[in-house]
Structure 1
Amino acid sequence: MKSSISMTTPESAAALDAEARRYRSITRPEWRSLTLAGLGWTFESYDSFLLSLLLPVLALQFGLSKAQLGLFTSITAAGQITGGIIFGWVSDRLGRVRTAMLCIGIYSLFSGLLSIAPNEQWFATFRFFGALGMGGMWTSGAALVAETWHASRRGKGGALMQMGLPVGAILAITIAGIVSSSYGGLAGNGWRLLFLIGALPFFILFFVARKTPESPIWLGRRASKKQIAAAKSELAAPLATTNVRGLLLAFTFIFFLQYLYWGVFTWTPTFLLTVKHLDFVHSLKFVFALQFGAIAGFLLFSALVDRLGRRPMFIAYLLVGAVAVGVYIVSTDPLALMVAIFLTGFGVNGIFAGAGPFLAEVIGNTASRGLLMGLAYNGGRLGGFIAPLVIGALASTAGGFTLGLATTIVAFVAAAIVVLLAPETRGKTLE
């Protein structure tokens, strides 16, 4: 036994770690957990981005102001906050896979109901209840991937899951384009069909979930009566038995990222129409640039995060995003805008690639990981609740609209400060 240990040199350990990060080393359970969580997140992203894409149409359909349109997005954020916390707790009891499917069923049902909403009140109600499932899907899916993937490649797994965010947005843009072409626009029943399509994910992912194994960590905790008792005591007094500093760092980091995301992406189509004076088809090209930039950001993050660490990747992405948003706000040159928006997607969207693994690692080992990840990520969505209201309220004039988007620069700086205060968690073992 001693001789085998002495043969493990730092060089051989590094070689083994590098080999473990390779794609061919990824196990079948890891791929299956990623498939369920990634597709669940992709379809949620479709539903979320569809709303921002349809804001101009809904304004005409229901006769709403920009501030009222921002309320739709804030209601979505409120539902996601609530659902993420509730279903984080549920996932600690029922398991990650079953909770994920429950949440997919909820957001699929209420997306379908949005297609028959007769007025803005019913639309807001259906949106809120659907958002409960959206918030819960991320929490259960991120916990499943974090607990299933090996520590040496957990960052890669989390990044690949999060890539569902831009893929879902591109799916929304593509389907919206097809429906718009078929119906001669999205007004009338065109926008309703888009939400009806959002009811399909449950039927697609039901068969995926049946073949997805449960988190081995969750199964191990369930099998231990002692740890179940510990989980109950954590629920009764979570702040007394958990890493409070880690939880606060996770919450504030996500708060500023959510402010950035919802502030920039929610208003991009409307900003391009009203301030940059681009027609809808032209602005749609810029939105595509945003999403393809995000995909590039996710892919690069997945390739480097387990090698370089969480902190340097976060700082680099925040820097790229801040510069890009600054150019995006002030520039009127089409080429400069195209490049800046691509890099905005790369930095602002791509940084979410590290959210799931980072939260699981910085919060640490606990029987209530689902609940605490839900508190951190979905509680942090308060930033997403505030941003659309702030920017929508300022958007009555072109100058006000620009000022509203400029508030995101402050959020970039604040997020960077949080990263510098947080520990490096690369390779941390979860139990």
Structure 2
Amino acid sequence: MGAETGRITTDIPARLDRLPWAKWHWLVVIGLGTVWILDGLEVTIVGSMSTALADPKTGLGMSSYQVGLAGAVYVAGACLGALFFGQLTDRLGRKKLFLITLAVYTLATVLTAFSMNPTWYLGARFLTGAGIGGEYAAINSAIDELIPAKYRGRIDVAINGSFWVGAAGGALLTIPLLDPTLVDQSWGWRAAFGLGAILAVGILVVRRNVPESPRWLFIHGREDEAERIVTSIEKTVTDETGSRLEPVSDSITIRQRKTISIALIARTVFTLYPKRTVLCFSLFVGQAFLYNAFFFTYGDSLTTFLGVKQTGWYIAVFAVSNFAGALLLSRLFDTIGRVRMITFTYIFSGVVLGITGFFLGSVTAVTLTLIGSLIFFFASAGASAAYLTASEVFPMETRALCIAFFYAIGTAVGGITGPLLFGKLIDDASASGDITGIAPGYYLGAVLMVAGGVVAAFLGVKAEGQSLESIAQPLTAEDAEGADLSPAAAGA
């Protein structure tokens, strides 16, 4: 399990969870949570830049194959980056990695803006994806370990949903940048990537003030540093709220370790928590296919079948509904509860998508957008809760890698399998001129989403208001107490 450095009893988790909401917590939200806006901005801008990149006069003379390959390369980078940086986040700390991954993203985005040929562009897209993938693991674990248990669900869901703020911004940004009467097309697409890098630098400045996770510190033998950080947070929160903090009685005893072996992490995920593994897998695959079934075909449906020339406004409306759903429904994941809300959002959105598939032949651009907005008002909150689930139902020592693992699965399924399948449906439907040809994709996304909701109903974890340590006890704590680590004990 790694070199043992000592055994301590600490009340740090209880002290962090009993804090009232204060301005300091907004620093954490802004400094860490805004990465999803960058991801949404990236994905939407790239999806709208294919024409500009293909033109040898204004872009890089990329073929349709190369444009598609760039998307696959970005996805591959995100999957590998999540796994690579995820295990480093558990080994080296949250703060070190959330600074490194944002720096990787920023540098790669600048390189993208200065691309001189397709090979350069593809390499830059891979690095950009690696930075974003690493961000998901480092950021979700840090947020969960710094936000009080009472607010963890609503903050996680809202932050994950902020991807669509970036998507809406990216969609609106492409309208003037792709207008040759307003912007020189040889510079428009470069400016779009450059703006993403500028935003990332601003986030990096704020992020430097976010501390390391005290939970990570005391497990890795740095309890004195953890104590100083928590004491400082308590003083800041007290000064900001003017309220007196009540003493805590809950504590946890752990054996500190410098490192946790990959073998033990794998055993934890697949052997000690098999039901939670099935739960996370179902949630991530369901939301990945749902989004690809609709969103991947959405732009082509508007232009190819419904006569829309400029899709930016339609995509912006769709993106706003996604963020509104995550924001407005987020509180219910803490009040009504995780299991009920995840089950409802998954099943409802899946059923409505399936019904929509039967009426595709009679939709217009407006009605398709309105139906999509309704579906994803609920689906966005559910999909965001999938990331929340993966980040809180496994032990602290494995948290970042577990997030990375399931994120990689969802991203690979959504970004590789999805486009291959739904791209074929679009091609066939375009050849026949019949929009109903993409209906099988809707049906598949609906079935997988409903299946994810059913799995959540039976295997979901009631984590609302609970400390992370009570949801999944740290491996080091189980070791300290001589607990049984058998699968039977874990199931109990």
- TM-score between the two structures when normalised by the length of structure 1: 0.85
Contact 1:81 1:378 in 2 (8 A): yes
Shift of 1:28: 4.0
Alpha-carbon distance change, 341 to 427 in structure 1, aligned in 2, over 3 angstroms: same
Contact 2:158 2:384 in 1 (8 A): yes
Amino acid at match of 2:294: V
Residue correspondence of structure 1 range 188-337 to structure 2 within 5 A: 188-223=186-221, 227-229=255-257, 231-233=259-261, 235-242=262-269, 243-245=272-274, 246-280=276-310, 283-326=311-354, 329=357, 330=360, 331-337=362-368
Matched with 2:28 is: 33
CA distance in 2, matches of 1:187, 1:316: 45
Aligned-partner SS, 1:151 = coil
Amino acid at match of 2:267: A
Contact 1:252 1:380 in 2 (8 A): no
Contact 1:104 1:202 in 2 (8 A): yes
| Correspondent of 2:408 among 378, 381, 400 | 378
Q: Which moved more, 1:251-260 or 1:165-174?
A: 251-260
Alpha-carbon distance change, 56 to 107 in structure 1, aligned in 2, over 3 angstroms: same
Gaps of 5+ in 2: 1-16, 224-253, 470-492
What is the percentage of aligned positions where both structures have the same residue?
A: 24
Aligned-partner SS, 2:114 = coil
Normalized per residue, the structure richer in helix is 1
CA radius of gyration, larger in = 2
CA distance in 1, matches of 2:151, 2:188: 43
Alpha-carbon distance change, 340 to 58 in structure 1, aligned in 2, over 3 angstroms: farther
Q: Deviations over 1:269-295 (max 9, x none)?
A: 222111222121xx3222122111112
CA distance in 1, matches of 2:204, 2:372: 36
| Correspondent of 1:115 among 113, 116, 120 | 113
Amino acid at match of 2:301: F
Amino acid at match of 1:311: V
Alpha-carbon distance change, 303 to 264 in structure 1, aligned in 2, over 3 angstroms: same
CA distance in 2, matches of 1:337, 1:228: 55
Please report the RMSD computed on the Cα atoms of aligned residues, expressed in angstroms: 2.7
CA distance in 2, matches of 1:417, 1:341: 22
Shift of 1:179: 2.2
Contact 1:183 1:190 in 2 (8 A): no
CA distance in 1, matches of 2:68, 2:379: 20
| Correspondent of 2:40 among 38, 45, 48 | 45
Shift of 1:126: 1.5
Residue correspondence of structure 1 range 44-83 to structure 2 within 5 A: 44-59=39-54, 62=61, 64-65=63-64, 69-83=67-81
CA distance in 1, matches of 2:426, 2:41: 25
Alpha-carbon distance change, 59 to 91 in structure 1, aligned in 2, over 3 angstroms: same
Alpha-carbon distance change, 371 to 58 in structure 1, aligned in 2, over 3 angstroms: same
Alpha-carbon distance change, 388 to 320 in structure 1, aligned in 2, over 3 angstroms: same
Matched with 2:460 is: 423
Note if 1:352 corresponds to 2:350: no
Q: Which moved more, 1:303-312 or 1:118-127?
A: 118-127
Alpha-carbon distance change, 326 to 257 in structure 1, aligned in 2, over 3 angstroms: same
Shift of 1:335: 4.1
CA distance in 2, matches of 1:57, 1:263: 26
Shift of 1:154: 0.8
Contact 2:280 2:390 in 1 (8 A): yes
Q: Deviations over 1:134-176 (max 9, x none)?
A: 0111111111111111222210110221132111111212322
Shift of 1:190: 1.6
Alpha-carbon distance change, 322 to 69 in structure 1, aligned in 2, over 3 angstroms: farther
Alpha-carbon distance change, 70 to 354 in structure 1, aligned in 2, over 3 angstroms: same
Contact 1:143 1:356 in 2 (8 A): no
Aligned-partner SS, 2:468 = coil
| Matched positions, count | 405
Matched with 1:368 is: 398
Aligned-partner SS, 2:211 = coil
Residue correspondence of structure 1 range 155-194 to structure 2 within 5 A: 155-181=153-179, 184=182, 187-194=185-192
Contact 2:324 2:377 in 1 (8 A): yes
Matched with 1:16 is: none
Contact 1:301 1:353 in 2 (8 A): no
Contact 1:115 1:195 in 2 (8 A): yes
Gaps of 5+ in 1: 1-19
Shift of 1:106: 1.1
Q: Deviations over 1:169-208 (max 9, x none)?
A: 1121232223234754784332222112222233212221
Alpha-carbon distance change, 389 to 277 in structure 1, aligned in 2, over 3 angstroms: same
Alpha-carbon distance change, 177 to 333 in structure 1, aligned in 2, over 3 angstroms: closer
Alpha-carbon distance change, 73 to 420 in structure 1, aligned in 2, over 3 angstroms: farther
Contact 1:151 1:427 in 2 (8 A): yes
Matched with 2:236 is: none
Aligned-partner SS, 1:381 = helix
CA distance in 1, matches of 2:443, 2:117: 33
Note if 1:106 corresponds to 2:104: yes
Contact 1:255 1:380 in 2 (8 A): yes
Matched with 2:475 is: none
Shift of 1:355: 2.8
Alpha-carbon distance change, 185 to 49 in structure 1, aligned in 2, over 3 angstroms: same
Matched with 1:12 is: none
